[in-house]
Amino acid sequence: MLGVSGGIAAYKAALVARLLKSAGAEVTVVLTEAATRFIGADTFSALTGEPAYTSLWERPGEVLHVRLAREADVAVVVPATANVLAKLTHGHADDLLTATLLEATCPLVIAPAMHSGMWEHPATRANVAILLDRGVRSVGPATGPLAHGDEGIGRLAEPEDVVAAVREALAPQDLAGRTLLITSGPTHEPIDPVRFVGNRSTGKMGAALAAEALGRGAAVTVVLGPGASIPPGVEVVSVQTAEEMRDAVLARYEEADAVVMAAAVADFRPKEVAESKLKKDSGMPELLLEPTPDILRELGERRADQVLVGFAAETEGLEQAGRSKLGSKSLDLVVVNLVGRAGTGFGADTNEAMLLAADGDDIPLRSWTKRELAGAVIDRVAALLGSAASGVGPGG
């Protein structure tokens, strides 16, 4: 069931409906009266091939909200306005959409969209926190152009991301009761108070992994490098340097059932950090580098029964480099990414990647969306944890 409420982003709900239908879903749309000011019910009927509903009273011969609630395998609200979020939080049911959602027991996904002030208001933040605590899944909002020519947080998530969240809501809860520790983003190794040694990672892969694991019931902690972002519902530990990431990971390692090291940790750092900004007119500075801590190797040496997954970013010799890392760092799985080309790897929505496994169940190099790759990695983690629970143990 696709619920559409009264915000300017309601037109994007039509794109969500089309994508869901293309994915093989049967889609029933319920619009609030305010939503019809932005988009009509006939649009959704044409896209889905099903009636679209707007009123509790349009089918007097049946209890419409009960039927719709019982038929739904998953419900998603696009956009979820501040008003609808408040109603869902406090159990108000004064229209067909909120009455149906109050009756429904299926998974619920919300895609908030509103002006920044409304999103950041304490009442809205409190309502969202309550809904998340109840198990409601949220996607977005994003930062970008808003109505009235404004810019900021509150923009509806992209339709593809909403559909991905719906898929996650239907995912098996095979990680319920498990704790996953994920690293994400780059590290910045300071040269002086202004400059740093870093890399091009944006943390998109880590965010996709966190969303996938969270959607499958895991408790997720992400040790997060600078500049990256993570979906709501995840515990975030922010760090800057490789040393800080090492300390944060080791402090939480023993409590984790699985560790997925997706961060692009800088391999080198300046041996000495200047206390003040290096000036161009002072001449060329001599920058001496030293290796950063090898966090993954240290985890491999310390591991007990945790599942351990590493990532490798390579420009050539992918399989050789991946197999070397798989063995030398005692990994269950390594994801080897091809980087250095446009449209793949750092900052892109797709990866050219292969999966190399200690048990020999490899997947050769292919193109993935980051969400697809995250799903494949978390599938392996869940399988390995299931094997461990049955006495087989990680790594076969």
Q: Are 124 and 82 in contact (CB under 8 A)?
A: yes
Provide the token pair at 161. Answer: 């991301």
CA nearest neighbour of 328 among 306, 312, 347, 345:
312
- Residues 70 and 72: their CA atoms lie apart, in Å, by 6
Cα(308)–Cα(322) distance, integer angstroms: 14
The contacts of residue 11 (CB under 8 Å, 6+ apart) are: 38, 39
Which residues lie below 8 Å from residue 280, measured CB to CB, with a gap of 6+?
none
Q: Across the chain, which distance is largest between two alpha carbons, in Å?
A: 85
Rounded CA separation 197/274 (Å):
13
Q: Is 83 a catalytic residue?
A: no
CB 206 within 8 A of CB 184: yes
Q: What is the dihedral of CA 369, 373, 378, 381, to 10 degrees?
A: 180
Q: Which of 83, 127, 199, 351 is catalytic?
A: 199
Nearest one of 35, 164, 34 to 14, comparing CA atoms: 35
Choose among 33, 6, 32, 30: nearest CA to 17: 30
DSSP H helices, the chain, are: 10-22, 41-48, 64-71, 82-90, 96-103, 116-120, 122-133, 159-169, 204-215, 242-253, 295-302, 318-328, 370-389
Number of H helices, E strands in the chain: 13, 20
Calpha distance 87→63 (Å, rounded): 21
CA distance 313 to 248: 22
The amino acid at residue 127 is N
Residues with a known catalytic role: 199
